């Protein structure tokens, strides 16, 4: 009988170690379930590429494990269930049944659920990276059981895709990261404003940024460049001035103010004799991003905005698909999609595309008044304003760009510049 005591003591301590191990294992599974499943794939990819050094290392370790979320979830829950179901069996060998139930509930609740989840919710990235090799081992160990369940979840719920923020959500997310929000962000007011402007510009069209045609300064094609006209041009301070023919709404081109430096005001040179450039025409419904892309090509930094009087829903979609920065209805761009043109191109020597030509001698940019008719708008197109690159940039920055000759901060609402505020 005396020799059985050490054996009983050994079994007791073995059961105690098993109980402790099961509690720790159940807590680890519960903590990893919360910590790893709360880490989004997008967040991990961001951290792995642009996070701090230690965060990049941790995120790179976790990404392969979290990639198949349903398989990971099934593995962790199977491990957690095995530990919690086995715990009362071994406790029953140590204490009475009622005590086994009480002790198992207390241990699981405190050390298997609350404490591990509290730790992993705060340090999920570090704990997940540390336990990544162990989780890989569990994935292989429970694979025969977890894989079928995960495939069923994929079929029923779909595979877990990275949740990206919508445009409005991303804007609010950026605002929270501004230093003015008081949440610890380090983005300045200008940074948050520019980002918000870039996100909102997709919804804005030429109508939102243009200068109304009634408030735009322009020159008559049949006018002369006398002293009064030149003084008016210099007073306005524009680098480009639209030119109209007969009707102020029939803007046919533009003139660069720098080309007027050599003009003698005493000679009253006719405006027709000057170098007049074509001016693009865009619909008031054209998105600002499309206008900005066309401005970047260099043909012009100002465009005429028109309104289609008879536009229907069907023609609106066609206009959106076919609209370009054409100067007039006769475009000099050739159709390169047909097979016949391909054959002609092979036989004839290659020519330089119009957008690659030098602007000084480009027929696309210069208006030839002597050899071609004066372009006119279609009767169903009503000119409503002009838009410049500065107008588009102001919408992007969400702030007015003032130069030395500006009289108004907001020309639409006739808000004048406060010179005292600018000096302060």
Q: Is the pLDDT of residue 308 over 50?
A: yes
| Domain membership flag for residue 308 | yes
| Domain membership flag for residue 207 | no
Cβ–Cβ under 8 Å, residues 210 and 391 = yes
Q: Residue 187: which domain range?
A: 167-199
Burial of residue 26 (CB within 10 Å: 0-12, 13-18, 19+) is: buried
Are residues 68 and 15 part of one domain?
yes
| Mean pLDDT value of segment 366-387 | 80
Q: What is the dihedral of CA 308, 311, 315, 320, to 10 degrees?
A: 40
| Mean pLDDT value of segment 32-61 | 85
Are residues 379 and 232 part of one domain?
yes
Q: Six-digit token pair at 13?
A: 């301590």
Are residues 191 and 321 part of one domain?
no
Are residues 371 and 275 part of one domain?
yes
Are residues 387 and 308 part of one domain?
yes
Are residues 194 and 263 part of one domain?
no
Are residues 225 and 177 part of one domain?
no
| Domain membership flag for residue 419 | no
pLDDT digits (tens, 9 = 90+) for 386-424: 999 999 999 888 888 776 555 555 555 555 555 444 444
pLDDT score, position 403:
65
**Alpha-carbon distance values, 403 to 2, 142, 417 (Å):** 103, 70, 11
pLDDT score, position 410:
56
| Domain membership flag for residue 417 | no
| Mean pLDDT value of segment 37-42 | 82
User: Which is more confidently placed, 147 or 171?
Assistant: 147
Q: Is the pLDDT of residue 237 over 90?
A: no
| Mean pLDDT value of segment 52-81 | 90
Are residues 151 and 185 part of one domain?
no
Cβ–Cβ under 8 Å, residues 279 and 252 = yes
Residue 39 in 3-state DSSP?
coil
| Domain membership flag for residue 416 | no
Angle between helices 53-66 and 4-37 (to 10 degrees): 100
| Residue that is last in its domain, among 157, 189, 223 | 157
Helix (H) or strand (E) holding 389: helix 389-397
Q: Is the pLDDT of residue 23 over 80?
A: yes
pLDDT score, position 217:
92
Are residues 254 and 218 part of one domain?
yes
pLDDT score, position 357:
38
pLDDT score, position 418:
52
Q: What is the count of structural domains for the chain? A: 3
pLDDT score, position 364:
56
pLDDT score, position 74:
93
Are residues 51 and 80 part of one domain?
yes
Q: Six-digit token pair at 323?
A: 């609209």
| Domain membership flag for residue 108 | yes
| Mean pLDDT value of segment 183-206 | 85
Q: Provide the mean pLDDT of the chain.
A: 78
pLDDT score, position 187:
85
390 Cβ contact partners less than 8 Å away, ≥ 6 residues apart: 401
pLDDT score, position 159:
74
Cβ–Cβ under 8 Å, residues 265 and 225 = yes
Are residues 256 and 384 part of one domain?
yes
Of 1-5, 218-222, 396-400, the least confident: 1-5
Q: Helices (H), strands (E): how many in the chain?
A: 18, 12
pLDDT digits (tens, 9 = 90+) for 309-362: 876 445 555 555 545 444 343 333 333 333 334 433 333 333 333 333 344 445
Q: What is the DSSP letter of 327?
A: S
Q: pTM of the entire structure?
A: 0.60
Query: Which one of 215-224, 261-270, 338-347 scores highest in mean pLDDT?
Result: 215-224
pLDDT score, position 330:
34
| Mean pLDDT value of segment 367-394 | 83
351 Cβ contact partners less than 8 Å away, ≥ 6 residues apart: none
| Domain membership flag for residue 126 | yes
- CATH number (domain holding residue 353): 3.10.580.10
Of 136-145, 165-174, 333-342, the least confident: 333-342
pLDDT digits (tens, 9 = 90+) for 96-137: 877 777 877 888 888 878 888 888 888 888 888 999 999 999
| Domain membership flag for residue 55 | yes
Burial of residue 47 (CB within 10 Å: 0-12, 13-18, 19+) is: buried
User: Which is more confidently placed, 79 or 346?
Assistant: 79
Are residues 223 and 352 part of one domain?
yes
């Amino acid at each position: 009988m005396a020799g059985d005591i050490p054996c009983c003591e050994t079994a007791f301590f073995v059961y105690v170690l098993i109980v402790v191990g099961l509690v720790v294992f159940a807590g680890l599974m519960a903590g990893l379930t919360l910590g790893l499943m709360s880490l989004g794939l997008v967040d991990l990819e961001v951290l792995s590429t642009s996070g701090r050094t230690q965060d990049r290392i941790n995120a790179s370790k976790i990404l392969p494990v979290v990639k198949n979320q349903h398989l990971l979830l099934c593995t962790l829950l199977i491990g957690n269930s095995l530990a919690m179901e086995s715990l009362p069996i071994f406790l029953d060998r140590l204490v009475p049944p009622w005590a086994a139930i009480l002790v198992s509930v207390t241990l699981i609740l405190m050390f298997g659920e609350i404490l591990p989840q509290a730790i992993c919710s705060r340090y999920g990235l570090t704990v997940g990276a540390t336990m990544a090799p162990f989780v890989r081992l569990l994935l292989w160990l429970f694979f025969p059981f977890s894989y079928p369940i995960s495939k069923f979840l994929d079929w029923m719920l779909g595979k877990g895709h990275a949740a990206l923020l919508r445009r409005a959500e991303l804007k609010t997310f950026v605002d929270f990261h501004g230093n003015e929000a008081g949440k610890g962000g380090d983005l300045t007011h200008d940074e948050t404003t520019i980002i918000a402007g870039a996100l909102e510009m997709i919804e804005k069209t030429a109508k939102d940024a243009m200068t109304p045609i009634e408030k735009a300064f322009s020159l008559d094609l049949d006018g002369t460049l006398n002293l009064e006209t030149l003084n008016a041009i210099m007073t306005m301070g524009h680098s480009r001035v639209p030119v109209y023919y007969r009707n102020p709404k029939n803007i046919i081109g533009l003139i660069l103010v720098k080309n007027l430096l050599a003009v003698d005001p005493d000679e009253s040179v006719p405006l027709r004799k000057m170098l007049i450039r074509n001016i693009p025409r865009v619909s008031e419904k054209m998105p600002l991003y499309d206008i900005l892309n066309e401005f970047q090509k260099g043909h012009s930094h100002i465009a005429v905005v028109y309104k289609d009087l008879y536009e229907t829903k069907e023609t609106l979609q066609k206009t959106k698909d076919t609209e370009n920065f054409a100067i007039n209805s006769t475009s000099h761009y050739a159709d390169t999609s047909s097979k016949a043109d391909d054959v002609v191109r092979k036989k004839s020597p290659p020519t330089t595309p119009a957008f690659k030509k030098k602007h000084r001698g480009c027929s696309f940019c210069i208006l030839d008044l002597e050899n071609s008719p004066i372009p006119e708008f279609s009767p169903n197109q009503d000119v409503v304003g002009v838009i410049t690159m500065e107008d588009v940039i102001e919408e992007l920055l969400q702030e007015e760009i003032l130069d030395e000759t500006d009289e108004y901060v907001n020309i639409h609402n006739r808000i004048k510049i406060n010179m005292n505020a600018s000096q302060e």
